[in-house]
Amino acid sequence: MTEKPRAADPDSTGSAPGGSATAGQSAGEQPRIVVRDNRKISTSEEPAAADAGADVPAEGLVADAEVVVDEIEVEAASVDGPPVVDAPAQPVESSTPAPGAELEGLRAELDERTRDLQRVTAEYANYRKRVDRDRGLVQEQAAGSVLAALLPILDDLDRAREHGDLVGPFGTVAEQLTTALGKFGLSAFGEQGDPFDPTRHEAVAHRTSADVTEPTCVQVMRRGYQLGERLLRPAMVAVADPE
């Protein structure tokens, strides 16, 4: 690209003594700047030129200066110097964790959540067992309270049976009542000839006998009752010890 030179003085010829500013330049040379300075300096004390219409510049001043700038199109590599080699890209440290580390983190978190779930499941299972057990105990206590209130009636039925009074319709009602109470888990114990058990029998009389080899219930004065595994009332018995 060549920029046009600025307008020169009419006296200027438009060319340097040595020829054109661009003459002799090769394609690989740098742009040149040619400055042409035409000075007219007075050499005598004579007055100004006879031509009154001509303007004579002051002594020592530049009458005309022409700056010619020739620009040639060159590649950036030839103008700026040797080609610039890009430095190898440096690895940029990323804050994003590597896939392996991220996978290990996810596995650790999954294991922790699994342990939490197992712990919560076990606690819930224990809670259900505890609630079911407490519910069963409450029901058993409630049923035990009701059945304990009916035990004196059952004692009267046993005495009536011993005397042979449970006959006819009255005997049928007694059997139905005993069967209905048995459905709630009520069971009677204490028979003559049972081994004496201090946890289930209440001994009100003692004697010795050659017919027994261990403490034995030889007489049942009042039968005992239990509700499931729970003892409602011990049996009242007479105990015979071996001689």
Q: What is the DSSP string of 39-76?
A: -----SS--S-S-TTSPPPPTTS-SEEEEEE------H
Domain boundaries, given as residue ranges, for the chain:
1-81, 185-243
pLDDT band at 163 (very low <50, low <70, confident <90, very high): confident
Across the range 32-46, mean pLDDT stands at 49
Q: Specify whether the backbone of 211 is left (phi greater than 0), alpha (psi in -120 to 50) or beta.
A: alpha
Across the range 143-165, mean pLDDT stands at 90
What's 1's DSSP letter? Answer: -
- Spatial separation of the C-alpha atoms in residues 180 and 116, rounded to whole Å: 49
Q: How many residues in the chain?
A: 243
So what's the pLDDT on residue 214? Answer: 92
So what's the pLDDT on residue 164? Answer: 85
Across the range 46-61, mean pLDDT stands at 44
Q: Does 242 score more than 80 pLDDT? A: yes
CA quadruple 94, 97, 99, 100: dihedral sign: positive
CA dihedral in degrees (40, 46, 51, 55; nearest 10)?
Answer: 40
Pairing of strands 235-242, 201-209: parallel
Across the range 234-239, mean pLDDT stands at 94
Q: Is the whole-model pTM more than 0.85? A: no
Across the range 7-21, mean pLDDT stands at 44
Q: Residues of the chain with pLDDT > 90: what percent?
A: 35
Across the range 180-188, mean pLDDT stands at 90
In the predicted model, what is the mean pLDDT of the chain? 73
So what's the pLDDT on residue 30? Answer: 54
Q: Does 70 score more than 50 pLDDT? A: no
- Spatial separation of the C-alpha atoms in residues 225 and 202, rounded to whole Å: 12
Q: Specify whether the backbone of 193 is left (phi greater than 0), alpha (psi in -120 to 50) or beta.
A: left
- Give the CATH H-level superfamily of domain 185-243: Head domain of nucleotide exchange factor GrpE (2.30.22.10)
Lowest mean pLDDT among 14-28, 146-160, 190-204, 210-224: 14-28
Across the range 152-169, mean pLDDT stands at 88
- Spatial separation of the C-alpha atoms in residues 218 and 194, rounded to whole Å: 8
Summarised one tens digit per residue, pLDDT across range 73-117 is 444 444 455 555 555 555 555 556 567 888 888 999 999 999 999
